Amino acid sequence: MSIDPATCAKPLPSGPARARARRRHRRLREVASAAAAALVVAALAAMPFYLVVGLRPWDASIAHDGARLLRLAAGSLRAVACALVVAIPLGLACATYTAHFAAPRLRAWLKPGFELFAAVPTVVFGLVATATLAPWLKHHVATALLLLVLVPCVLLAAGFAFGVRARARGWLPLALLPLVIALVAAGAWAAGQADSALIHPDSPWNAMLVGFALGLAALPLVFAVAEDALALVPAAHTRAGFALGATRWQALVTIVLPAAGSGLLAAVVLGFSRCFGETMIVLMAGGNAFGAPFDPLSAVRTLSSELAVSMPDAAPRGAAWGDLLLAALALLAVSVLASAIAEGMRSRLRGRLVQAHP
């Protein structure tokens, strides 16, 4: 029994029918994308709307505790300042080495490693800081301060220790890494011998401890944004500096850093935003108490930690509830403003580099 292929084959749609089907599918995709974008925008707009509506004076006799909110804001700024002292130098130094000095094979490992480091939960940083770093920091505050100065200086000296020929190749080998580690360890040991008699914090849980843990948590974000900004600078600029006789360090200081300045500043702003809204590390390592406004060795209580601790016990439409909503609105405003400023700086950097190399 023979089967006629002409009677079994399905007729193919004509050219106009296929064009109409493609247009219909394209419209469906556009509508779905627009609906998803509208949903995200509505969700973002609903948060400040809810906070503003919740701040309406339901009871005229209820007043906000402005002094307490100012103390919480000062605590947030104190914690952020301590964290940025750690995150900015380390983040910018790591980004500079990865984008400008590291060998290509090493660079292929460093950047994914920092991205994986960003996935570590903040509660882990808080746990390590509370269980391990706090007892050590109570008796070695001066050593920690010395390390903040010694490590960048030793790394900078190690970079300049290479000759012009090694710097001009475009990367710095890790041959001096054991020597750098030995110098840092020797300095920390020497400082730790007489450290316990120099500085005595009132509590092992203080703003400095928060700064170390929170700075490490913000380090991957600062590194990622700064490294992207440095990588956007065309390699032709650096090669032109080499052709004029500049070393690798001279090209970095006079060409790369000025060209990527707005992107590096955006990394600092985003690091500030990341640290300003952190909650878990501050709760675990900050002592959750009010301290002296300018003392990094005293306990710290921030806007975010106040929200986490006091929100479950606050009565709706009460004075404490209104203060918490105002604190949440302040956190949201600072985060949005910092993100907008950082994105504007990054857009400016991209536009300037595109105009220079269309």
pLDDT digits (tens, 9 = 90+) for 330-347: 888 898 898 888 888 888
pLDDT band at 128 (very low <50, low <70, confident <90, very high): confident
Q: What is the DSSP letter of 206?
A: S
**10 in a domain, yes or no?**
no
**280 in a domain, yes or no?**
yes
**263 in a domain, yes or no?**
yes
Average pLDDT over residues 91-105: 82
168 and 246 in contact (C-beta within 8 Å)?
A: no
CA angle, residues 141, 87, 237, in degrees to nearest 5: 135
- Shared domain for 50 and 113, answered yes or no, is no
- Shared domain for 46 and 118, answered yes or no, is no
Please state, in angstroms and rounded to a whole number, the distance separating the CA atoms of residues 100 and 107.
10
Q: Is the pLDDT of residue 351 over 60?
A: yes
pLDDT at residue 197, rounded to an integer: 53
Nearest to 94 by CA among 77, 71, 72, 118: 118
Output 118 or 2, whichever has higher pLDDT: 118
Contacts of 219 (CB under 8 A, 6+ apart): 86, 87, 90, 91, 94, 114, 117
Q: Is the pLDDT of residue 272 over 90?
A: yes
Q: Is the pLDDT of residue 228 over 80?
A: yes
pLDDT at residue 355, rounded to an integer: 62
**219 in a domain, yes or no?**
yes
- Shared domain for 48 and 78, answered yes or no, is no
pLDDT above 70 covers what percent of the chain? 78
pLDDT band at 192 (very low <50, low <70, confident <90, very high): low
Q: Enumerate the β-bridge partners of residue 300.
A: 287
The distance in angstroms from the start CA to the end CA of the chain is 68
pLDDT band at 232 (very low <50, low <70, confident <90, very high): confident
Dihedral angle sign, alpha carbons of residues 79, 85, 88, 90: negative
Place of tokens 């009871």: 59
pLDDT tens, position by position, 13-65:
556 777 777 888 888 888 888 899 889 888 888 888 877 777 766 555 556 66
Average pLDDT over residues 129-149: 77
pLDDT at residue 170, rounded to an integer: 45
- Shared domain for 84 and 231, answered yes or no, is yes
Average pLDDT over residues 118-131: 87
**Domain harbouring 163, CATH code:** 1.10.3720.10
pLDDT tens, position by position, 69-86:
888 888 899 999 999 988
Q: Is the pLDDT of residue 164 over 50?
A: no
Please state, in angstroms and rounded to a whole number, the distance separating the CA atoms of residues 81 and 73.
12
Parent domain of 232: 66-356
Output 135 or 174, whichever has higher pLDDT: 135
- Shared domain for 195 and 285, answered yes or no, is yes
Q: Classify each residue of 26-62 as buried b or exposed e, where b means 16 or more C-beta atoms within 10 Å of its C-beta.
A: eeeeeeeeeeeeeeeeeeeeeeeeebeebbeeeeeee
Q: Is the pLDDT of residue 177 over 70?
A: no
Split into its structural domains, the chain has a count of 2
- Shared domain for 42 and 77, answered yes or no, is no
Q: Enumerate the β-bridge partners of residue 287.
A: 300
pLDDT at residue 251, rounded to an integer: 83
Nearest to 273 by CA among 344, 337, 347: 337
Please state, in angstroms and rounded to a whole number, the distance separating the CA atoms of residues 15 and 33.
27
**199 in a domain, yes or no?**
yes
Q: Is the pLDDT of residue 315 over 80?
A: no
State the alpha helices, DSSP H only, in the chain: 5-8, 15-54, 66-96, 104-117, 122-128, 134-139, 141-161, 164-168, 177-193, 207-232, 235-243, 248-251, 257-259, 261-276, 280-285, 303-310, 319-356
255 and 241 in contact (C-beta within 8 Å)?
A: yes
Dihedral angle sign, alpha carbons of residues 92, 93, 94, 98: positive
Please state, in angstroms and rounded to a whole number, the distance separating the CA atoms of residues 310 and 72.
13
